[in-house]
Each structure stands twice: as C-alpha cells, then as structure tokens.
C-alpha cells in the first residue's frame, strides 16, 4: 500500500488539536498516564485517582520517599500536566473539584497515544 493511500484510509480521527501540540503533550510521561487512565475509565476521574495510578505504575526516584514522590506527582499534575492538557483541549479540568473529564479530542488522540506507549515500552525494555 502506498503511503498516501495509507494516510487516506487511516483510522486516525480528525482533531482540532495541532499535531505539534499533540506530540508535545505526548512527549511527557505524566500526560500519557493521565490520558491512558482517563480513556480506560468510564466517566470523569479525580486527581487523587491519577496520583494513585501513577504511583502504582512508576518507581520513585532514588532518594525520594513515597510520600515525597506522591507530593511531587500531585503538584505536577495540578499545576503543569492537567492545565496543559486542558489548554490544548484534550481534557476538561475542574480545578476546584479536581475532576478530569474527556473531550471529543481525548478520543481523537488515542492512535497517537497508542504509538507513544508502544515507543515507551520498547525503550523501557
């Protein structure tokens, strides 16, 4: 199959998020964790659930206690990752309730997220 034909018959959904923004947010592991958890779950999720998911999926850096690591993850999610994902339109984030919901763009990012996760796994192995 020719490259142009493959592009036109691709399962990639059209999105209003620019490709640069999409690849920029997917380059950061925390953002991939947020989108993965959100797409796996039914309905809105809460920031504390994401923190627990990331804690379960990762190891704290050497020299950091789990408590310190949890605080670091919580802070980065609330002040960096979630606002950035909301700015590009991939999530809705209610900061007051710390609730995260999907948008139409969340699902549109799925093929790119899958690709990023495959790359991450092959790099980690």
- Calculate the alpha carbon distances from 51 to 6, 29, 35, 41 in Å: 38, 13, 13, 14
What is this structure's pTM? 0.81
Boundaries of every domain in the chain:
17-124
What sign for the dihedral angle of Cα 32, 34, 36, 39? negative
Which residues have CB under 8 Å from 21's CB, separation 6+?
88
% of the chain with per-residue pLDDT over 90: 58
* Residues 116 and 36 sit within 8 Å (Cβ to Cβ): no
Q: In CATH, what number does 17-124 get?
A: 1.10.10.10
Whole-angstrom distance, CA of residue 29 vs CA of residue 50: 13
Check residue 110 and give its pLDDT. Answer: 85
Which residues is 100 bridged to in the sheet? 45, 93
Q: State the chain's mean pLDDT as an integer.
A: 85
Q: What percent of the chain has pLDDT over 70?
A: 85
> Hey, is 102 helix, strand or coil?
strand
For the beta sheet containing 45-46, the strands, ordered from the edge strand earlier in sequence to the opposite edge, are: 45-46, 99-102, 91-94
**pLDDT at residue 81 in the model:** 96
Predicted confidence (pLDDT) at residue 80 exceeds the cutoff of 80: yes
pLDDT grade for 7, boundaries at 50, 70 and 90: very low
Higher-scoring residue by pLDDT: 63, 120 = 63
């Amino acid at each position: 199959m020719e490259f142009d034909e493959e592009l036109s018959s691709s399962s990639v959904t059209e999105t209003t998020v620019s490709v640069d923004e999409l690849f920029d947010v997917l380059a950061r592991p925390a953002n991939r964790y947020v989108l993965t958890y959100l797409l796996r779950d039914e309905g809105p999720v809460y920031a504390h659930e994401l923190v627990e998911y990331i804690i379960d999926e990762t190891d704290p850096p050497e020299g950091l206690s789990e408590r310190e690591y949890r605080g670091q993850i919580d802070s980065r999610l609330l002040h960096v990752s979630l606002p950035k994902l909301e700015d590009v339109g991939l999530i809705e984030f209610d900061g007051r309730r710390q609730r995260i919901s999907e948008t139409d763009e969340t699902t549109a990012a799925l093929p790119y997220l899958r690709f990023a996760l495959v790359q991450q796994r092959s790099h980690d192995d």
